[in-house]
Structure 1
């Protein structure tokens, strides 16, 4: 079955470091850890924690049970779109990629990837639209459209439990360095950078929320604030709005570089999509 939906499984959460959030909880469905030790010698963090680690028990419970997780409404729509014939070539995603459970088992954990023809990296949303326009002869879906969110959630769900592993060498290096620079650059009227909140103060409370490390392994994510699923780039844009900066456009080269760097910061965390967050 291509939709990776399973019943609730209560696992021990007594591993070292999990008490940091102040909550006692089981692990999210489909993954075996929410904490890994950073292995890159130049990684800015010693321990890497999923955003799940910082959520309230009520929010964790929504993600833990796939039958309660509202993000699966989009995963199921994506499963239908996977089989839907579209475009001048009269093809579906399944026409080329067949069973997504096999062919997409690691795809969602390895993006963005270098695209030689374009001379730049592409992320999962962009790759989906490239397949539509170049292979299917179909119109690309708009960013944050129900269709693109659903297909992205479906494909990423096939990789659930697979550790995030992005390449940052070769032609990806300048993009990685640009993303790193963006992450550490103060912007907006509040004069804040990503690093200030998500590295300097993670685990502490701001208003009614608890700051996380800003990891990306759960995207596309269902946010209770949004009452729907949303992309990582939407979250980037929201953060820039919150510090009163002029945000980049979703799908922009700036957000693509930032996505690469943020994914690298979470290297080794298992994909959780669709996660549930506040």
Structure 2
């Protein structure tokens, strides 16, 4: 009797991603899932090349990694017609309206839904239709961002908390269910407070937690100018000096990332080209 081939994680030329070999989406067991989870926690980002799986298979696979989270965009333009767990990211039009969320523009560095009390633990993104060029996705490690901080910056982050307003999104649009604030001082708006350095809920490793923008972010207790200067230094260190993995998509590729210890961004692309991605999101703990 042949022994089943076990999984392999092959780290690429970054410190944040590994390619998974030997995983069969049509025939896997609890041991395979346990091994994948170990790799996921170790590397932060996993890639599965040209999987060819269906929406139903993606949903079923995602169930093994936690409860589903409904992304804010799923309540607007990014809902899936038959699988409520899936966020549709697409620039395709249907009946004169967007058939998915996020269009074709650039998405700058961020951690997903950083403005939630409990940001998601992870996301699983599958390329359904991809353009021949553009729309690349980039990943970096916020473990590494913290661990490589110069001493002065590390001391400046110790014990600090960061406030994120949750009234407007990064494009300046009101978030769903929010109304125009009565004050110009964003610190008086609704929002969340998280640690500037969070301990991962499963590994215990410390990671820098910057959210998704410096706009509407405030290091609690600091004067606004000092907060802005420190955040600028932290963002420059994180996004300008860390090793980055670049995913150039093929149809069927899956990227699976740990939202608690990574950040990602997306290149814009030609609006005449169609890019359709299906994403599932899993629940996480409150950052501590």
TM-score, length basis structure 1 = 0.27
Report the TM-score, using the length of structure 2 for normalisation. 0.26
Which of the pair is proportionally richer in strand? 2
Relative contact order (C-alpha < 8 Å, sep 6+): which is higher?
Answer: 2
Which one has a larger percent helix, Structure 1 or Structure 2? 1
Larger Rg: 2
